[in-house]
Amino acid sequence: ATPTAVMVASGKGASQGVLIKGGNALEKAHKVNTIVFDKTGTLTVGKPVVVSAVLFSSFSMEEVCDMATATEANSEHPIAKAVVEHAKSLRQKFGSNIEHIVEVKEFEVHPGAGVSGKVGHRTVLVGNKRLMRSCSVIVDPEVENYISENEQLARTCVLVAIDGKVAGAFSVTDPVKPEAAHVISFLRSMGICSIMVTGDNWATATAVRKEVGIDNVFAETDPLGKAEKIKELQMKGMTVAMVGDGINDSPALVAADVGMAIGAGTDVAIEAADIVLMKSNLEDVVTAIDLSRRTMSRIR
């Protein structure tokens, strides 16, 4: 496209809240035939809430909540925020406004798995089955049942282990964005195939896939795994756009032919992307591609 055409299109995009960083992205976007979407915060609202809590040992709900909160308070993950919020509202319900400020020692983040630390003399793990497995905590059939029941409902389970045993669990739900399903079906009508990648587990990911009608899914992928998926698709001859919001999406945003960041996402993702969707609305994925198609067809 001519510099003038690029300028006009960028201006038009900006007025609609679609920031295009340079002519290259605009020129590539019209060729995109595959779009990879991150799940949490991209296809979903990204503000999970705890919808159920259970106990699996003799620790009380208050004890489990306090230990989980103390550990998760150090994490930036949206699931951590959900756990902290839930514990806060439980405390209010039982009439205690005392904020327990509990110090956590040896705090550790396990990317794509959860967090751990020492609360008093107890060792606390908060996260998924993968975290339990890697720390040799047994997940018995009772716990497995709770997990699979909730995952089928597109919920994610957060297990809390105290001193090497699963003491309780939370189930969090993160609703799908209202526009997600019709955007996916509109992209299909434009000849574009949609794929989801997520660090979340297969069962939850599959339930979300069905809800939005996306063509394919890859779950339990770490940040570099997400980028690998993009490269595999490119090797098959696809021109790939990636849409994401998290730090964990930035390698994939860079690897993609066109990286699109959700405006409400992390700064790292916004920096890694070629296009920023300022309104955080998935309809603007269509806006961006449409703008590129119009600009590129004008010069032919």
Footprint on this chain of ligand ADP (rule: CB under 6 A): 38-40, 72, 75, 77, 79-80, 112-115, 126-128, 156, 158, 198-200, 246, 248
Nearest residue relative to ligand ADP (C-beta) = 199
202-229 burial code (b ≥16 CB/10 A, e <16): ebbbbbbbeebebeebbbebebebbbbb
**Comparison of 26 and 126: residue with beta carbon closer to ligand ADP:** 126
Pick the catalytic residue from 38, 66, 249, 257: 38
**Amino acid at residue number 136:** S
- Picked from ligand ADP, Mg ion, none, the partner binding residue 245 (CB below 5 to 8 A depending on kind) is Mg ion
Question: Which residue in this structure is represented by tokens 């209010």?
Answer: 92
How far CA 32 is from CA of 102, 190, 194, in Å, comes to 50, 10, 11
38 annotated active-site:
yes
- Picked from ligand ADP, Mg ion, none, the partner binding residue 115 (CB below 5 to 8 A depending on kind) is ligand ADP
Burial of 21 (0-12, 13-18, 19+ CB in 10 A): middle
**Comparison of 169 and 193: residue with beta carbon closer to ligand ADP:** 169
**What residues make contact with Mg ion under the rule CB under 5 A?**
38, 40-41, 245-246
C-alpha to C-alpha distance for 123 and 208, rounded to whole angstroms: 33
| Nearest alpha-carbon partner for 104 in 145, 68, 152 | 68
CB of 75 vs ligand ADP, minimal distance in Å = 4
CB of 146 vs ligand ADP, minimal distance in Å = 14
**Comparison of 79 and 104: residue with beta carbon closer to ligand ADP:** 79
Catalytic residues, by residue number, are: 38
